[in-house]
Amino acid sequence: MPATPAWPPKSAPRLFVEQMLGEGLQISIEGPQAHYLARVMRVGPGDAVILCDNTTGEWAARVADAGKRDVLLTAETLLRPREAVPDFTLCAALLKKDRFDLVLEKACELGVARIQPVLTRRCVADKLNLERARAILTEAAEQCARTALPELLAPVKLDALLRDWEANRTLFFADENGGGPAASAFAANNGPAALLTGPEGGFDEAERTAIRALPQARPITLGPRILRGETAVIAATALWMGTRGDWTAPA
């Protein structure tokens, strides 16, 4: 007897949709997502699509009809409830566009819960297209099979960030002028966490003083080499996820 093929197959396209999903619900996909399904992935009636709604979780859906303009799907089975991602906020100074795009993509893959872009004195970039940034995050989530989208907040100035800091959230501050070894600092601080990283030219002296004055701040070092802005984000996030986040359970 041949083995029953896995349903949905691993190769099924994954998509986030706006609509909340439920068993038997019909979903109509339009625009670029319909183009992707019908033209790029060439789905037809009966084919599997994996849908996420960022609320209930991940669903197996089946194509009912694939037209030129829209694709009609039926949600069938809840595959996984929306995952709980570790409570880690990335407070990253804005970087030049292509470098910040990389930060968004990698932060999503690595498991960051929310991203708070920060404006500092030496930031070269001072604007972020939130819609475009959300599209990058959604695509990364589809790619890495995350069922929870990272929350993206509008950029804030550093002084506002520090002024409104949550009482019980540790702020690991990647200070290029030195601090404690990152792994030890992570090990010594339980609970909600955040990482603050600087722009291309680093923080200025007044900013460094203000950050260090925050009782929740823990200056950390990421080794003897000078890391680019986006490298510091990715490296420190990976180190936190690997030691305090959700990479510590055997797979």
Find the shortest distance in angstroms from Cβ 30 to a copy of itself.
27
Residue 189, interface with a copy of itself (CB under 8 A)? Answer: no
By CB under 8 A, the residues from 133 to 152 that bind a copy of itself are 143-146
DSSP characters over 42-107: ---TT-EEEEE-SSSEEEEEEEEEE-SSEEEEEEEEEEEEPPPPPSEEEEEB---HHHHHHHHHHH
Residue 246, interface with a copy of itself (CB under 8 A)? Answer: yes
Are the CB atoms for 130 and 151 separated by under 8 Å?
A: no
71 vs 140, which CB is nearer to a copy of itself? Answer: 140
| Measured CA distances, 43 to 52, 62, 68, 71, 84 (Å) | 18, 10, 12, 9, 31
Residue 231, interface with a copy of itself (CB under 8 A)? Answer: yes
d(CA 94, CA 129): 11
| x/- track of binding to a copy of itself for residues 30-49 (CB under 8 A) | --------------------
Among 31, 191, 215, 224, binds a copy of itself (CB under 8 A): 224
Q: Applying CB under 8 A, which part among 45-53, 164-172, 188-196, 218-226 lies near a copy of itself? A: 218-226
Residue 122, interface with a copy of itself (CB under 8 A)? Answer: no
Find the shortest distance in angstroms from Cβ 96 to a copy of itself.
14
Residue 110, interface with a copy of itself (CB under 8 A)? Answer: yes
Residue 182, interface with a copy of itself (CB under 8 A)? Answer: yes
d(CA 67, CA 31): 12
Residue 67, interface with a copy of itself (CB under 8 A)? Answer: no
d(CA 66, CA 76): 17
How many residues does this entry show for the chain? 251
Are the CB atoms for 117 and 155 separated by under 8 Å?
A: yes
Residues that bind a copy of itself (CB under 8 A): 83, 102, 106, 109-111, 143-146, 178-184, 221-228, 231, 234-236, 238-239, 241-243, 245-251
